[in-house]
Amino acid sequence: MSSLIPRPSSVVILLVALVTGCSSIPTPAGPMATPTRLSTPTFVAMGPTPKPETPGIEPGQAITLTLWTTEGLAPDGETCPAPCEGTPAGQVLSQQLAAFLADHPNVHIQTLLKKPGGTGGLFDFLQTASAVAPATLPDLMILDAADLPKAAQAGPIQPLDDVVGAAAADLFPFARALATVNGRLMGMPYIVSVEHVAYDPTRLEAAPLTWTEVISAGVRFAFPAGESAHADTLISLYLSIGGTLTDASGAPHLEVAPLIEMLRSLETARQAGITTNATQVKSAEDTWAAFRSGTPLAVVSAERYLADRTALGAVAAGPLPGWKAPAPSLGSAWVWVLVTRDPVRAPLAQQLLRHLTAPENLGHWSHAAAVLPARRSALATWETLSEAPDPYLPFLQELLEKAVARPPAAVYTAIAPALRQAVEDVLLGRATPETAAAAAVRNVRP
């Protein structure tokens, strides 16, 4: 998930904003319809923003809010010492924070930097501090949505259902699912990430929607199939065939029949020369490099496509090819998490959360940062920020509506190695689809 965090951005005031990814996987969506123009956004209010009154604060009382963030989202003073030219995203964020300060002149925000994940990362510090030094906990922080179930179990974070209210309905469905734990919204999704394909329109009239169309097109297709922690593309294809990732008890599993169908498609692609070197491709970054080197069809992350598409010229986007229809993209997210219960600081932290995730603010910032916002109305603001109609926007809107939540970590890590091994064995000709599928089912980690 750290891959979707923007490069360090500039914020030229002594504040920082945090940027943001479990529940069961929704039923895979149906075929992608013909994209339509984005509708005019309907903004969903999340409570009054202008000059709110905070109960319990005396006039002139100085309040410090502590925020935990990560290096890619830090202000100039932390990672970009003067002189620093800054970035468009940093300038937008500075304006938004300045507006918040204007309404809260007695507030100071203290920023502490953490790694995105792992030992010494955001969740690791949250878990450790809540057990041994609760006084050091932040008021508000950014967190990978994959860590939300553990954070909720640890106890320090607060439900946000009443904080965000009707705005939760404005979230893309998969983002809301990722932020929901035991029926409660435990984080407010901020930015999201999905995969799709990029193709060369001078060599393909349209993106292939199924693997049959990929094979018929007769062009090389770069997709991640190598040994790594990444198996999103393979899981998406498996889901498009109707496969499930958990059994009736919720335990991780793979189904033989849909897995065989998936592997047969890949075997046919290998025999047609479509998947050359696929087992050496480990991530969407690798596939993007292959695309830039001349491969006409490749899986890419949306944020990479956003960042680099203008430099390439001939490039277009399409959904991931599936079995009989496009495969649903797996979505991940970063979320805002409210930690404090302090009667004075909590209302201010809630106001800051609502301010930064308001549709216009989130839309302007995410557009400048070239990352995807978690709210429909925030994405819709991009249309007003574009100099000309952009066909990528309605495509993104539909892609995000049909995306499914990335499986919980316990499920993902249980099935991904078995699935990758089966794909590798078939692509290298070491096993038949039937043999590889049977082995994968046996090899799912309990």
Q: Tell me, what CATH number does 258's domain have?
A: 3.40.190.10
Task: Give the integer Cα–Cα distance in Å for 134 and 385.
Answer: 43
Please report which residue ranges of 255-301 form alpha helices under DSSP H. 256-271, 284-292
**Residues 315 and 353 occupy one common structural domain:** no
**Residues 324 and 338 occupy one common structural domain:** no
Structure tokens at 171: 């979230």
**Residues 362 and 419 occupy one common structural domain:** no
Q: In this predicted structure, what is the pLDDT of residue 12?
A: 32
Is the separation of the CB atoms in 185 and 353 below 8 Å? Answer: no
The structure tokens 């509708």 sit at 39
| C-alpha distances out from residue 176 to 131, 195, 334, 388, Å | 28, 18, 11, 31
Q: In this predicted structure, what is the pLDDT of residue 109?
A: 81
**Residues 383 and 276 occupy one common structural domain:** no
Structure tokens at 355: 């301010």
**Residues 340 and 323 occupy one common structural domain:** no
**Residues 27 and 167 occupy one common structural domain:** yes
Task: Give the integer Cα–Cα distance in Å for 397 and 71.
Answer: 29
Q: In this predicted structure, what is the pLDDT of residue 71?
A: 64
Identity at 338, one-letter amino acid code:
L
* Three-state SS annotation for 101-141: HHHCCCEEEEEEEEECCCCCEHHHHHHHHHHHCHHHCCCEE
Q: In this predicted structure, what is the pLDDT of residue 13?
A: 33
pTM for this one?
0.86
Is the separation of the CB atoms in 316 and 201 below 8 Å? Answer: yes
DSSP 99: H
Q: In this predicted structure, what is the pLDDT of residue 167?
A: 98
Q: In this predicted structure, what is the pLDDT of residue 4?
A: 58
Measured CA angle at 47 (ends 139, 101), to 5 deg: 55
| C-alpha distances out from residue 177 to 162, 239, 358, 377, 404, Å | 17, 17, 19, 18, 9
Q: In this predicted structure, what is the pLDDT of residue 50?
A: 46
**φ/ψ of residue 411, rounded to 5:** -75, -45
Domain that holds residue 248: 195-328+408-443
**Residues 234 and 264 occupy one common structural domain:** yes
**Residues 232 and 298 occupy one common structural domain:** yes
274 conformational bin, left if phi > 0, alpha if psi -120 to 50, beta if neither: alpha
Q: In this predicted structure, what is the pLDDT of residue 58?
A: 65
Q: What share of the chain is helix, strand, coil (3-state, %, to 5)?
A: 45, 15, 40
**Residues 285 and 419 occupy one common structural domain:** yes
Measured CA angle at 105 (ends 104, 106), to 5 deg: 90
**Residues 160 and 146 occupy one common structural domain:** yes
Q: Return all residues near 249 (Cβ < 8 A) that are at least 6 apart.
A: none
Domain count, the chain: 2
**Residues 318 and 347 occupy one common structural domain:** no
**Residues 238 and 361 occupy one common structural domain:** no
pLDDT in tens, the chain (446 residues): 555 566 443 333 334 333 333 333 233 333 333 333 344 334 344 444 444 555 556 667 899 999 887 765 544 444 444 444 567 777 787 788 788 888 999 998 887 889 998 998 999 999 999 999 999 999 999 999 999 999 999 888 999 999 999 999 999 999 999 999 999 999 999 999 999 999 999 999 999 999 999 999 999 999 988 776 689 999 999 999 999 999 999 999 999 999 999 999 999 999 999 987 778 888 888 899 999 999 999 999 999 999 999 888 889 999 999 999 999 999 999 999 999 999 999 999 999 999 999 999 999 999 988 999 999 999 999 999 988 889 999 999 999 999 999 999 999 999 999 999 999 999 999 999 999 999 999 999 76
